[in-house]
Structure formats: structure tokens, C-alpha cells
Amino acid sequence: MTVGIVGLGLIGGSFAKAYSNHDEHKVLGYDIDKKVMESAFNENSISGELGENNIADCDLILIALYPKASVKYLENIAEYIAKDTMVIDCCGVKGYVCERCFPIAEKYGFTFVGGHPMAGRHYSGYDYSMKNMYNGASMVLVPSDLQHEKTIERAKQLLSPIKFGTFTVCDAKRHDSMIAFTSQMAHVVSNAYVKSPTARDHDGFSAGSYKDLTRVAWLNENMWTELFLENKESLLSELNCFIKSMTEYKDAIENDDADTLRKLLHDGKMCKEEIDGI
């Protein structure tokens, strides 16, 4: 098949390298950074530049840009996309993107499916992309109609060369609610936690706990600002829940309330065991 990939950073670059690893697939790519395009050509991650003149040749188009840029790109290119092409975005929020992209696809007659590959690395950019980054990972799919099995199966078939381990199909609201908890909250808490003045003197006093909790404090502030604000409602719900729980711990410690503190700690331990095991 012919695959078009827009945005050749960590996400798009990894898709390009995975598809181009199979000789039977042709990969066309586009990135605003000419040095990235040059690297992708030199490494044979792409065989041509994606544009208005050849986008209709694509069986699948993957948009790996920030949410607003993804919507803008689709608005600008939609008239050139063939009706039998499937377009899948790779953004970390689905409500904002799907709400705007489903009508565009309907207007021009092609199929749009929201997507979110659940894999990544500490660093971003094409230089850190890998052909096997998605091997065994989960891919979230958000179709316009959850009952449209033909669309879902076609998306899975088009993505099969990537070797995802599982596919999770849901609506945009569920995706954004779950991502606020599993990803966005982790980045907020980690980023806030490391701001303690004590952090500057932690050397020699820290082990796995500190590293685990601060791993995602180093982030792309531009991308995460956009993701947080586009998922404001779900993220605020999780933040309010977290702040309420933290206040309970704080009050118990301030009041030397050992019984309450012990119960809070026990309840948290049991929640972890019930959800994930020990």
C-alpha cells in the first residue's frame, strides 16, 4: 500500500520507519523541517514527499501533528484526498480533533478515524524515532460510529504492518477521560513535584522512587500545554480528585492522626493491588 505521513517527529518518524521496513509498502512523508525531510530520505524512511499532487495515491494517511495543526492540515488538504483513503490522526486528545475532523471527512467523502498510539520515548524528534517503537503497544481507535465494524477492521488491517499488540476502540469522550488519568495527570504531578527546592540537593539521597516519579517532568511544554487545555474538563476532574486526596493526607499528618493516616495508606495500597496487582 501507499502510506502518507504528515509530521516526521518521534511518532510520525516511527510510523515511517516501520512501514518502509516492508519493501511492499511505499511511504510518502512531509515535515516542515527540511533537515528532517533530508534525514528521512537518506535513511529510506520515505521514498517521496507528500503533497497535493500525490496524496490521492495514498491508501492510508497518518497525521502526526499537534491537535490544532492536525485539524488545520486536514482542512487545507481535504479536497485532494481520494474517497477510498482512510485518514488517522495520532494526537493525544480525541474530542477536539474528532469533533472537527469527522465533518471534514463526511463533506469530502473519505474516512477519518481518530487514533492514539500508546507508545513513546523520553526524547522527541525524528532522530529518536524507531521502526519497532510500536511493537506490542496498544493503539486506540476512535471511529465516528462504534458499530461500524467494517471501518474498524479496515483501520486494523491498514495498521497491521506496525505490529501493535492490541487495539482499543472507544469514543472520544472515554479516550480523553482515560488519558487525563493515565498520562496527563502523571505529567502534571511529576512536573510540579520536581519544583521543590529540596530537589536541587537530592543527590545521594534518592533511589528508584524519585526517578520513577520525576521521569516525565522533563517534557515538551508547548505540546503538553495544548494537550492539557484541549482536555481541560477531564484533566480538571482528575486534578480535583487528586487535590482532595492530598488534602486528606496533609490534614492527617498535620493533626498527628495516625489512625486516619494508616487507613489512607492502606486504602491506597489496596487500590493498587486491586487494579494492577502487587
pLDDT reported for residue 114: 98
pLDDT tens across the length of the chain (278 residues):
999 999 999 999 999 999 999 889 999 999 999 999 999 999 999 999 999 999 999 999 999 999 999 999 999 999 999 999 999 999 999 999 999 999 999 999 999 999 999 998 888 899 999 999 999 999 999 999 999 999 999 999 999 999 999 999 999 999 999 999 999 999 999 999 999 999 999 989 988 899 999 999 999 999 999 999 999 999 999 999 999 999 999 999 999 999 999 999 999 999 999 999 88
Could you tell me if 83 and 58 are in contact, meaning their C-beta atoms sit under 8 angstroms apart?
Answer: no
User: Domains of the chain, with CATH numbers?
Assistant: 2-170 (3.40.50.720), 175-276 (1.10.3660.10)
pLDDT reported for residue 207: 85
The β-bridge relationship of strands 2-6 and 26-30 is parallel
Q: What is the pTM of this model?
A: 0.93
pLDDT reported for residue 181: 98
